[in-house]
Structure 1
Amino acid sequence: MTVPILSNSDLAAYSDGLFEGVSTDAPVIAAVSGGSDSMALLQFAHVWARKHGADLHAVTIDHGLRPEAAAEAAFVAGICAAMGVPHLTLAWDGAKPVFGIQEAARLSRYTLLDDFAQDIGAGCVLTGHTRDDQAETVFMRAVRSADGTSGNAGDGRGLSAMARETTLLSGTSIVRPLLDFSRKSLRAMLSDMAQPWIEDPSNFDETYERVRVRRMLEEDGKLGGQLLRLGKLSSRLRKCQAEAAARYLKDHSVAEPGPVFRLALPADDGLLDHPVFQLAIQVMIAVAGGQSHLVSRRRLAPVREMIAGFRAVRPGAGILR
């Protein structure tokens, strides 16, 4: 999607499409860091909220990792005040990990946003992820899938792109309205509106994987589009497998307090290695353990051995508990 430079009068026309399906029956939260992507999101969301009477709130997360963060949050607060949008800064307190800091920051960010959503009764959090973020994400997932570090190498699901909408365990929706927009087009729009934004210095720090990938994609004009196409195909595969696994669990499993599951096993032992059956097992393990992520497929070998042993002791048995 190529987005022209927009003026204030054009924002409303684009906003209706961007926020299609977002309910105005409950407060809506926009995650605004002050960077160009989130500032563009704020502009779109503000126009949409005024037009449709939505109760829009802006939230900035101060991760406590840079001394400039407080001033950046104050910058966003000032912009929001001028727009009449309630703003709150939430802090990530406590000790920070030495390794995996970006992933830890991401998890803390969603936790803080989700907690605030629960506090005010919001059903939706808007984020400013762009098509550039999408391409970067697919590339990094492809690397992990290729070297086996994703735990699900070769199944194709790990290459899927970010969905427009995902749901947290609490039920809060994360909506990404700007996935069809390039960062360049959003910055052109903000410049035309004379709306400044903040350049986070960490976006230039090549010790971070995403920054290195971003630089590489900027140098290769075709790779980004190829990654986006790969992500869309993988997303379709992921959806098909998820729907098939859900049908299998609905037809062949029973949940009991615990939670404990009784599962009807496939009649053919060869189907134990079928991707849909394996995904169903992964989902059951995650639900039983209260986990937000699936156990890696590499770790299912003991489960398969347990099933084989179960059938050896009870030939013909088709129920595993």
Structure 2
Amino acid sequence: MPNPNSEQALQTILREVKHAIRGLFPTNIKPQRLGLAISGGVDSMALATLTKIIKEDSTFPHTFTGFIVDHRLREDSSEEAILVAKSLKQLDIEPMILNLDWNGHGDPRELNNFESVARTLRYQALGIACAAKKIPHLIFGHHADDQAETVISRAIDGYTGLGLRGISSHAPIPECQGIHGVDHSGSPRVSDGLERLQVPLQPKARMNYSLGGPKIAVEQGGVSIHRPLLDYTKQQLKLICHSYGTPWHEDVTNLDRTLTIRNSVRHLQEGSLLPTALLRPRAVETAEKVRRRKSRIEDDAQKMFEMTPIDLDLSSGKAVATISKVCQERDDAPYDYHIKAAFVRKLLLLVSPGAYVSLQDLDQCIDLVFASSEMLDDSSPRDSHMTQVSGVLVIRAGTARNALHRSITLQRQPPARAEREGAVKIRFVNPRGSWSQWLLWDHRYWIRVYEDVVARNGNTTMHVGHLTPGSLGALRKRLKNDGHSMLGLKQALSLVPEKVRWTVPAIVARSEREDRVVGLPTLRWVDKCWELGEFPLHSRRWEIRYKNIDFPNKDCHKLIQ
């Protein structure tokens, strides 16, 4: 039983953690399973103890799985993982041991970037395991001491101001880019606000080209991580374990103060060897101040974004935003700049072929988007109306002086030669009669294809790449004597402006003789050679979804295809 002298503090922690976990799901949702990242240390075992108590509440409907990552670097690591699993069973929590696979990395003990590789493998193992068990939320036991170590470590690395951010309490799982079901994906939606482009089509052309295929869904879902213990110290978590008799295991590598910077900082913190300004309370206070300021900036940028009319064409990945001058007036210049930067980053992420947009690269783009009409009118040089950043071409339309609105077009910039030539191979888990693995292509479209062309010819492989002048020329040459197919292709290409044509994906069947374009999935064009006799026309060829985007306002934000 808990120590009576600490009962009130324990109940406060329990109540706050229960509230945080309940808040992960809407009210009245059917029972869900949540994941716990369990290392066996005092923090994660305190988390497991708290979740056991929470589960005993009859009004709490959800269950937990504890994931134990065995790095397989120490001789006794597997035995330790088994002991931790037994401890979880005693807490009535389902354990699952995940063994890291170091194949392809050589001897991990000889890696210069060992910590980085281990972190990537660990998060990927956790993310894949969560997706397999349909777990959307993974909970970690990071605490206030970890928060202080993070802030001090970032200060040592030279960060200042907003760079002194601590550990986030909520975030998408890192290191899992391109893993379907983990990376912002797995639960696609088709928006009610989806508009369809109307293109006249000759009846005979419908044999080889159709606008009646499924809409391009927009991905959402994936795995997110949560840290409900950041307000509590390691000493408080030890008290929880002591009070409920929960054992924990100390990682001996954490005791080597020379192994990592964090270990050195931890040693100095625990020994009170740092100046008062760098001890845990002040470092945690700094992290909280930065968090609040970043939260205000993000909230204001989000409000601006939700008020901005935006049309996003899913066929080409091109967005057009109408920026209002009213949104721009603020007295605090530095704060105003941060809001504009966060807003512009949201615009860029709609169409960017990259996962991240660095705020350090946005000065020129911010100037272009928010410059007054007097500073940037039709008499300005043409190149002053556009810029490129993070793989996005940003174009500002000419506006009259004193105009209240300006139109900003954002589209994937023309791919470089290496990108045009770098078609990505589509991989199949099962070689016959099945769907391929999902591929995040150009960080814009999730694509998978049905194993059809491959089944007919074992020497054929399927790839996804940019449509190029060369591949389109070869396709036209192949179809020149087939008027119906040529008309269908022409109609399909009319869906996207010629300047963005070379940014759309093409499905290519590659053999020893040729690379053959067999589908343009965003344009819903398919080569007549790709047909399955046992299935209706246009079924089981591909599935395509647009990446997850922030597009919350149905009144202002429209999806077009």
SS at match of 2:235: helix
**CA–CA separation in structure 1 for the residues paired with 2:50 and 2:120:** 25
Matched, 1:198 2:249: yes
SS at match of 1:19: helix
**CA–CA separation in structure 2 for the residues paired with 1:221 and 1:128:** 27
The residue identity in structure 2 corresponding to 1:285 is L
Matched, 1:319 2:403: no
Stretches of structure 1 lacking an aligned partner (at least 5 in a row)? 147-152
Describe the superposition over 1:174-225 as per-residue Cα deviations: whole angstroms up to 9, x where unpaired. Answer: 2212112211222233234443211112212323121122123222374211
**CA–CA separation in structure 1 for the residues paired with 2:49 and 2:130:** 20
> Could you say which residue in structure 2 is the equivalent of 1:16?
15
> Could you say which residue in structure 2 is the equivalent of 1:279?
342
Greater share of helix residues, 1 or 2? 1
> Could you say which residue in structure 2 is the equivalent of 1:262?
320
Stretches of structure 2 lacking an aligned partner (at least 5 in a row)? 174-183, 185-220, 370-375, 377-382, 387-395, 401-405, 410-561
SS at match of 2:296: helix
Q: Give the paired residue count.
A: 309
**CA–CA separation in structure 2 for the residues paired with 1:160 and 1:197:** 29
Greater Cα radius of gyration, structure 1 or 2? 2
Return the match for 1:209 from 261, 281, 290. 261
Describe the superposition over 1:130-163 as per-residue Cα deviations: whole angstroms up to 9, x where unpaired. Answer: 11011112223344453xxxxxx65x2x323333
> Could you say which residue in structure 1 is the equivalent of 2:128?
115
> Could you say which residue in structure 1 is the equivalent of 2:39?
33
**CA–CA separation in structure 1 for the residues paired with 2:353 and 2:9:** 45
Distance 1:180 1:275, change over 3 A: closer
> Could you say which residue in structure 2 is the equivalent of 1:249?
305
1:43-62 paired onto structure 2 within 5 Å:
43-51=49-57, 52-62=60-70
> Could you say which residue in structure 1 is the equivalent of 2:150?
137
Query: Is this contact kept in 2: 1:5–1:192, CA < 8 A?
Result: no
Distance 1:144 1:238, change over 3 A: farther
> Could you say which residue in structure 2 is the equivalent of 1:235?
291
Query: Is this contact kept in 2: 1:4–1:185, CA < 8 A?
Result: no
1:141-180 paired onto structure 2 within 5 Å:
141-144=154-157, 146=159, 154=161, 156=162, 158-168=163-173, 169=184, 170-180=221-231
**CA–CA separation in structure 1 for the residues paired with 2:80 and 2:260:** 21
The two structures have a TM-score, normalised by structure 2, of 0.49
Distance 1:12 1:233, change over 3 A: closer
Query: Is this contact kept in 1: 2:344–2:366, CA < 8 A?
Result: no
The residue identity in structure 2 corresponding to 1:311 is H
**CA–CA separation in structure 1 for the residues paired with 2:368 and 2:242:** 61
Distance 1:62 1:289, change over 3 A: farther
The alpha-carbon deviation at position 288 of structure 1 amounts to 2.8
Describe the superposition over 1:75-120 as per-residue Cα deviations: whole angstroms up to 9, x where unpaired. Answer: 1111122333211011221344734433443343333323222222
The residue identity in structure 2 corresponding to 1:159 is L
Higher relative contact order (CA 8 A, sep 6+): 1
> Could you say which residue in structure 1 is the equivalent of 2:357?
295
Range moving further from structure 2, 36-45 or 67-76 = 67-76
**CA–CA separation in structure 1 for the residues paired with 2:135 and 2:86:** 23
Q: Percent identity?
A: 22
> Could you say which residue in structure 2 is the equivalent of 1:149?
none
The residue identity in structure 2 corresponding to 1:108 is L
Return the match for 2:97 from 89, 101, 105. 89
**CA–CA separation in structure 1 for the residues paired with 2:306 and 2:142:** 34
> Could you say which residue in structure 2 is the equivalent of 1:74?
82
SS at match of 1:73: helix
Query: Is this contact kept in 2: 1:11–1:44, CA < 8 A?
Result: no
The residue identity in structure 1 corresponding to 2:82 is A
Distance 1:260 1:69, change over 3 A: farther
> Could you say which residue in structure 2 is the equivalent of 1:125?
138
Query: Is this contact kept in 1: 2:319–2:350, CA < 8 A?
Result: no
> Could you say which residue in structure 2 is the equivalent of 1:150?
none
RMSD between superposed Cα atoms in Å:
3.5
**CA–CA separation in structure 2 for the residues paired with 1:4 and 1:127:** 27
Describe the superposition over 1:228-265 as per-residue Cα deviations: whole angstroms up to 9, x where unpaired. Answer: 11111111111111112222222234333243322345
Greater share of strand residues, 1 or 2? 2
SS at match of 1:28: strand
The alpha-carbon deviation at position 27 of structure 1 amounts to 0.6
The residue identity in structure 1 corresponding to 2:280 is G
> Could you say which residue in structure 1 is the equivalent of 2:72?
64
